[in-house]
Amino acid sequence: MKVTNLKLQIMSLPESPGIYKFFNDENKIIYVGKAINLKKRVTSYFKKNHSHFKTKLLVKQIIKVENIVVETEIDALLLENTLIKKFKPKYNVLLKDDKTYPWICIEREPKPKIFYTRKVNKNKGQYFGPFTNVKSVKFLIKLIKDVYPFLNHELIHLLKKEKKTISSNEIDKNLLEIKLMIKGNFKASIDHFKNEMENLSVLTKFKKAQKIKEKLEVLYNYQVKSTVVNPKISKADVFSIFSDDSFAYVNFIQVSFGAIISSYTIEIKKKMNESNNEILRISLVELRQRFKSNSNQIILPFKISLGPKIKCIVPKAGDKKKLLELSLKNARSYRMERFKQNKILDPERHINRIISQMKSDLKLKQSPTHIECFDNSNLQGSNPVGSCVVFKNCKPSKKEYRHYNIKTVSGPDDFASIKEIVYRRYKRLKEEKALLPQLIIIDGGKGQLSSAIKSLDRLHLKGKIAVIGIAKRLEEIFYPGDPVPLYLDKKSETLKIIQQLRNEAHRFGLKLHRNKRSEKALSSSLDNIKGIGSKTQIKLIKFFKSFKNIKTASKNELIDVIGNSKAKNLYENLHSVDRK
């Protein structure tokens, strides 16, 4: 199947919140959209039979898709709005007008004032937001005015009653509390409402106290911060880098007037001993030239000397740090997109890369092209079984899976069970002169791993095959003789392959264990019925699979399997209890 470049881009999109941009054959943005799940949303354009003519026309013109990953759906909404205003895409008719999201502004002069606006003029006052809901903005402003009446200029009669003039210091203190309140820190305001609610309760004014309580609940749940837009960061370039053994991925985010206007990631083939510092320095210059950026403020993960006119910032916390983290998230996301594309276009290269990564992560001497994983299963020592699953080139080789009925162990003893099945597996492979794996994985911690090593030692295979154990609780990787476990990144492909092997071994072993238990339960239930011998039981087990299915079967269904006489006898016995 031939995969077009557009189809490849869609198949490799992340399943994360973000915005997507559609380009036409002139490399112009013709549509900008937002999504909770980028892959699902973009894919839907090419799967549906659209009834709207405009949408059909749009889809026909798309030749390229780009995306920017963000943290939340609200961030996606805000970024979509910003990019539509900047690029004015042809098909974004709904948000192409001048309507934008509201901000809260506080003016200090000529008199303290608070209001909401859709236009930001930094010379006029201090701005907070943006907000996605005008109602929440109005409510918050009303709350602030209720708590701090000196801002309530609409209520002239209230101001006339206010005999005491507020000092400049008191206004400054109140404005500081208000700013904290807008940012989401409501401590001072919450304390104020709590006291008021308690006083009203004492005075048995319960209706008014309930209204105050409702305001408190709103304050507790209020969220107004957004990483995507921040008026304090007027103009800046943000750079991050993420690298592996072969490639580096540099992301560039361009911020203008407090909003992200561009995001772009490049993939760079690493040279021998080339550091992230060197790669980022070269990429930084190239990307700034490409996007014609003249910003003198650059946000970076580490210091780089770029001359006296450019200010380099390495943030430790705050909104600039969040922008840096967002940039890194996009670099990682782009890397995963490239991996998905390679997997589709060149599966062999993709497999070789994962195997190489596993060898590096697990510090192995050989590339683990052949891996085997062991698990055992029992219920309080009953019906103990073991399983071995085999992966070759990171894929299950199901014809080589093996089940083991535990023969030498009585009672629940995981260590002894692992010892037995590992010994039996590799004793047979040695006798058959079959190829041995490069890596053995034991489902369990130090005890199970130690038991497996004893069996390999007995077969003179100790040190010839790499062996690790994986403990479920914290996904710790244990090595023989090393008390300190290895912790792999939870998102690493190496850990995902190990988990896949472990889960497959557990599933395969549990399947045999359940079958044995159901067979045993079925046989014991049928043993008491006269005329139903072992051969008849086997017929029933093979056909109906469970005792429940036999009991719910009709008389005619039983006759078809075991004949008229036995079926009538069995049916009468099974349903005699119900009649009683």
pLDDT (tens digit, 9 = 90+) per residue, 171-214?
787 788 788 777 766 677 778 778 888 898 888 888 888 888 87
Query: Does residue 258 register a pLDDT over 80?
Result: no
| Beta-sheet strands, E only, within 40-164 | 64-69, 103-107, 113-117, 126-128
Domains, the chain, with CATH or none: 5-87 (3.40.1440.10), 103-186 (no CATH), 235-343 (3.30.420), 359-514 (3.30.420.340), 528-579 (1.10.150)
Q: Is the pLDDT of residue 60 over 80?
A: yes
The two structure tokens encoding residue 277: 């510092």
The gap from C-alpha 437 to its chain's centroid, in whole angstroms, comes to 32
Per-residue pLDDT tens over the stretch 480-530: 988 889 999 888 889 999 999 999 988 887 766 565 555 555 555 666 677
Q: Is the preceding peptide bond at 130 cis, omega within 30 degrees of 0?
A: yes
How many other CB atoms sit within 10 Å of the CB of residue 171? 16
Instruction: Quickly state the pLDDT bin for 64 (edges 50, 70, 90).
Output: very high
Cα-to-chain-centroid distance, residue 524: 47
Task: Measure the CA–CA gap between 555 and 388, rounded to whole angstroms.
Answer: 41
Note if the pTM is more than 0.75: no
Task: Quote the CA–CA distance of 551 and 574 in Å, as a whole number.
Answer: 6
Q: pLDDT at position 1, please? A: 46
